[in-house]
Chains A and B, each alone.
Chain A
Amino acid sequence: MAERIVPFTIDGKKCEAPEGQNLVKAAEANGIKIPSLCYFEHIDPPLGTCRVCMVSGDGKYTAACTMKVKEGMNITVNDPALDDARKAMVEMMFAEGNHFCPACEKSGDCDLQGLGYQLGVSASRFPHLFLDKRIDYRPKRIIVDHNRCILCRRCVEEVKAEGKYPVFGYQERGVHTSVQVDYEKEARLTDAEAIQAMHICPVGAILVRGKSQPRPRGERKYDLQDAEAIIQQEPVAKPPIPGGHKKVIATTSLAGCFGCHMSLLDIDEGLLDVIELVEISKSPLTDFKKFDRRCDVGIIEGGCCNNENVEVLREFRANCDILVAIGECAIWGGLPAMRNFLPLEECLDEAYGHATSDVADGKVIPHDEDLPELLDRVYGCNEVVEIDYYIPGCPPDASHIWKVLKNILFGSDYSVIHSEFKYD
């Protein structure tokens, strides 16, 4: 029977498509891209697991990928509630998993990351869960990193040994749900099938030994796409800091690597212009050791890993009008948060337990009245104080940092382009 082409609307725009066609596909054919993540054309019926493609159809909220075109349907894709819901889904995935973009082979080619860039996610509104997840090395060809899995379910549906036997399967339920491997069946996959499994995965959870390398920056999928496109972000909510006084900024690096500070300096000669307009008060770059006056902006690099980080951060909150968290570490803990899945004692044992020592009692874990005490885990800054702005990156791009700062300080135009907006 021939396909019947029927009319329908998306956001008021007249569209047409074959009746019964998948809505995401139909929208795309009509020039409207509904953001989606788990949607994978070959899988029918669509998975509807990630919930990123939420739309409302005649008043009812559904995942667009689970909808079929019907004559006369009225779909809303873009309205404030839906736009925010999509963004929130991506943020929730970032908070639920342990997405260390800086260390990941798939960074730059990752669909979750790409979607984050597209929607302008600089920080997750949800607290990171830091659930302990494994990296499974046991399969013959592949390695499964559960920290990165977003449970989209594509691999479960698509990857079959001998065309028949599922290789991946969901286990447990609730927040303990994970995708595990049938080792016996995985061993039956061909090399090509294993690589195909790696490609199906939208993130870096499935890796093939020996065939997973990061690709050159600038040549990756999301580097090439829309490099000049402007990232849609929350407009600056507050007006620029009033007053004609020379603006004062303070900076600190808590449990960071100093890379964000180095990135601050990466404006090179621009620094000479900046120092005409801005004074640097307390900072590792100066000898101002205390807050001698109130500062307009405090720049925080690094998360909190000991009690002194917490004290310094609280001090910054009290002495600065606006706090800007720069870099992944300040935003949610970053790379140092890799220790969050390990008992603190184990980390200390590893570093100090194996060392030889002249001290009589063998193993010595440093502790002294002159040393700060370590926290049970690494905390992002917004778990300790309210943060006003977030600049993502590891480290963030220098122009991105200064665009944001100039916007906060002077109200200058703030548009960050895609190539400046990165998590790695």
Chain B
Amino acid sequence: MGNTGRKIIIDPITRVEGHGRVTLHLDEDGKLGQARFHIVEFRGFERFIQGHPYWEVPALVQRLCGICPVSHHLAAAKAVDRLEGLEPENLTPAADLQRRLLHYGQIFQSHALHFFYLAAPDLLFGTDAPAAQRNVVSLANHDKELARKGILMRKFGQEIIRTIAGKRIHGVAAVPGGVYKVFTPQDRDFFLDGQDIPHIDTMIEWSLQTLDLIKKYHETHRPWLDTFASYPSGHLGTVNNDGGMELYHGRLRAIDEYGNLTLKDVPDDHYRRYFSEGVERWTYLKFPYLTHLGREKGWNRVGPLSRVNVCTFIPTPLAEKARQTFKAITDGHPNHHTMYYHYARIIELLHCAEVIKNILHDDRLLSPDIVVSGERRSEGIGVVEAPRGTLIHHYEANDKGKITRCNLIVSTTHNNEAMNKAVREVARHTIDCQPEITEGMLNGIEVAIRAFDPCLSCATHAIGQMPLQVQLFDAGGTLLHEKTRD
């Protein structure tokens, strides 16, 4: 930092899962130099998992995150299947369907949580609303019916998890080669009879209503949404063999900013051939990128926006219709506007509801044939699309059953560069050459981050909290101006 520059710190980012901090460096003319999004925690899962028996890993590893434990559980379970020589297609239909139901159930709950509990206050009250208003409690006071729907949608997803995994958060469902409990007709009726919880059809209906909500929001805020934190980038997600959106087990596909394929539907367990991770001194979060494109250009966004971008179609009708409307907004080109993450997220919400309904009506779900066995291999890789993006678990275990190596590339990690870029973009448009910091500017940066629905705990396998203060210092460390948000 030059001796006439200054540093602005935004700390912590709230209404995200996990702990992060933003620093902005301005030069003597107030021109924005460096803008960084720091992830400030580290837990060391990759090291301490070593030494454990591999069959303990699916239960253990979901403690990476309390919002998406199921993603970790299933990614680890798929990796453990492979350690026992089993591919997803080797599992029995009942096991596969249970796992899928679990997976789509958790994405449904996670997206509902993010939209209603975390992001909605910004969208409904505006990014300039008083800080005291921007939370789920105000939302509930303002529109109780909407809040109730949000709560019940999350509940629906949580109940699916509870039924299959025994517990809403950090349950256990998968065993090597399958699942450990039969899904009974009573279990199924719970989601279809509308008694204790609303019917699955209601979930689809409410998803459509939420879609309408966000469409209306986009109609009234279009110019801002199309320019706010908008920058070209690559996108990564998994797709099925036909190129359709596939969230449980698919092939890795990435596109560049123009939509050209940079990763051509490769098998998920080949990820190592294509990805590298960079490290910076100023954050605990790493920077994955496509090796053949290099660090500068090889990074990709992940998550709902990216998945909607990379897939050729969505295999459920209502969501597919929504996708086509979405695609039309950018004339069929990839959508790079960060705020459209919310829109894409609701499309996925709808898609999950449809998939859940299909699975619940599939009788094979109820079969008691739930486990198969295979032969030990020394390596296993499991990839799923977690709510927040592509999640990779990779384990090596010796013939005695001990985990000897562990590599995790967690969804939000892919978005590291993207979030940094978003911060820079917003800062460039709103702070550049401004001597005073306003509330709106601060929140704007956070709004950009929030759109990614980052799971910062997962990302560095840790999470933390810090108070938020924005302080403007001169180079000599004298406090020039202070704005606190409370």
Do A and B share a complex? yes
- Which residues of A are interface residues toward B (Cβ below 8 A)? 100, 102-105, 135, 137-138, 143, 207, 209, 212-219, 252-263, 265-266, 268-269, 271-272, 275, 279-280, 282, 284-292, 302, 305-306, 308-309, 312, 315, 334-336, 338-339, 341-342, 346-352, 355-359, 364, 366-368, 370-372, 374, 394-395, 398, 424
Question: Is B47 touching A347 in the complex (CB atoms < 8 A)?
Answer: yes
Question: Is A255 touching B484 in the complex (CB atoms < 8 A)?
Answer: no
Question: Is A288 touching B486 in the complex (CB atoms < 8 A)?
Answer: yes
Tell me the B195-252 residues at the A interface (CB within 8 Å): none
**Could you list 13 examples of A-B contacts with CB < 8 Å?**
A102-B170, A137-B400, A137-B401, A207-B53, A213-B175, A282-B486, A355-B279, A364-B279, A364-B280, A366-B42, A368-B38, A372-B464, A394-B63
Chain A's closest residue to B69 (CB) is: A259
Question: Is B457 touching A290 in the complex (CB atoms < 8 A)?
Answer: no
The reply on B12 being an interface residue by CB < 8 A is: yes
Question: Is B154 touching A268 in the complex (CB atoms < 8 A)?
Answer: yes
| Chain A residues whose CB sits within 8 angstroms of the CB of B282 once the complex forms | 366, 368, 370-371
Question: Is A104 touching B56 in the complex (CB atoms < 8 A)?
Answer: yes
Chain A's closest residue to B11 (CB) is: A289
Chain B's closest residue to A346 (CB) is: B47
Chain A's closest residue to B371 (CB) is: A213
Tell me, rounded to whole Å, the shortest Cβ–Cβ distance linking B398 to chain A.
8
Binary per-residue interface labels of chain B (315-343) against chain A in the complex, 1 for a CB within 8 Å, 0 otherwise = 00000000000000000000000000000
Question: Is A366 touching B283 in the complex (CB atoms < 8 A)?
Answer: yes
Interface centre among B56, B69, B144 (most CB of A within 10 A): B56
Tell me, rounded to whole Å, the shortest Cβ–Cβ distance linking B155 to chain A.
4
Once bound together, how far apart are the Cα atoms of A143 and B56, in whole Å? 13
Question: Is A302 touching B14 in the complex (CB atoms < 8 A)?
Answer: no
Question: Is A268 touching B277 in the complex (CB atoms < 8 A)?
Answer: no
* 4 closest cross-chain pairs (CB), A and B: A259-B66, A217-B166, A289-B468, A347-B44
Question: Is B135 touching A280 in the complex (CB atoms < 8 A)?
Answer: yes
Q: Given A350-B46, A370-B21, A370-B38: A285 and B136 within 8 A (CB)?
A: yes
Once bound together, how far apart are the Cα atoms of A215 and B151, in whole Å? 30
Tell me, rounded to whole Å, the shortest Cβ–Cβ distance linking A273 to chain B.
10
Beyond A315-B467, A347-B42, 13 extra complex contacts between A and B, CB < 8 Å = A265-B117, A280-B137, A286-B137, A287-B15, A287-B485, A302-B464, A305-B464, A336-B63, A341-B48, A347-B48, A350-B46, A372-B464, A395-B170
Tell me the B6-63 residues at the A interface (CB within 8 Å): 9, 11-12, 14-18, 21, 23, 36, 38, 40-44, 46-53, 55-56, 59-60, 63
| Chain B residues whose CB sits within 8 angstroms of the CB of A346 once the complex forms | 47
Question: Is A358 touching B295 in the complex (CB atoms < 8 A)?
Answer: yes
Question: Is B60 touching A216 in the complex (CB atoms < 8 A)?
Answer: no
Tell me, rounded to whole Å, the shortest Cβ–Cβ distance linking B440 to chain A.
13
Question: Is B18 touching A355 in the complex (CB atoms < 8 A)?
Answer: no
| Chain A residues whose CB sits within 8 angstroms of the CB of B168 once the complex forms | 262-263, 266, 398
Q: Which of B48, B132, B180 contacts A287 (CB 8 A)?
A: B132
Once bound together, how far apart are the Cα atoms of A352 and B463, in whole Å? 18
The reply on B273 being an interface residue by CB < 8 A is: no
Question: Is B463 touching A253 in the complex (CB atoms < 8 A)?
Answer: yes
Interface centre among B9, B43, B135 (most CB of A within 10 A): B43
Tell me, rounded to whole Å, the shortest Cβ–Cβ distance linking A123 to chain B.
19
Question: Is B148 touching A272 in the complex (CB atoms < 8 A)?
Answer: yes
Interface centre among B9, B15, B66, B118 (most CB of A within 10 A): B66
Q: Which of B9, B180, B484 contacts A214 (CB 8 A)?
A: B180
Q: Which of B41, B147, B169, B485 contacts A306 (CB 8 A)?
A: B41
Q: Which of B181, B279, B464 contacts A352 (CB 8 A)?
A: B279
Tell me, rounded to whole Å, the shortest Cβ–Cβ distance linking B166 to chain A.
3
Question: Is A216 touching B485 in the complex (CB atoms < 8 A)?
Answer: no
Chain B's closest residue to A103 (CB) is: B60
Interface centre among A135, A279, A287, A306 (most CB of B within 10 A): A287
Once bound together, how far apart are the Cα atoms of A271 and B25, in whole Å? 41
Tell me, rounded to whole Å, the shortest Cβ–Cβ distance linking B289 to chain A.
10
Question: Is B42 touching A256 in the complex (CB atoms < 8 A)?
Answer: no
Q: Given A258-B66, A290-B484: A355 and B401 within 8 A (CB)?
A: no
The reply on B473 being an interface residue by CB < 8 A is: no
Binary per-residue interface labels of chain B (144-173) against chain A in the complex, 1 for a CB within 8 Å, 0 otherwise = 100110011011001000000111111110
| Chain A residues whose CB sits within 8 angstroms of the CB of B424 once the complex forms | none
Once bound together, how far apart are the Cα atoms of A129 and B126, in whole Å? 50
| Chain A residues whose CB sits within 8 angstroms of the CB of B468 once the complex forms | 287, 289-290
Question: Is A305 touching B462 in the complex (CB atoms < 8 A)?
Answer: yes
Once bound together, how far apart are the Cα atoms of A348 and B463, in whole Å? 16
| Chain A residues whose CB sits within 8 angstroms of the CB of B278 once the complex forms | 355-358
The reply on B466 being an interface residue by CB < 8 A is: yes
Tell me, rounded to whole Å, the shortest Cβ–Cβ distance linking A319 to chain B.
11
Question: Is A272 touching B140 in the complex (CB atoms < 8 A)?
Answer: yes
The reply on B430 being an interface residue by CB < 8 A is: no
Once bound together, how far apart are the Cα atoms of A254 and B135, in whole Å? 20
Chain A's closest residue to B484 (CB) is: A290
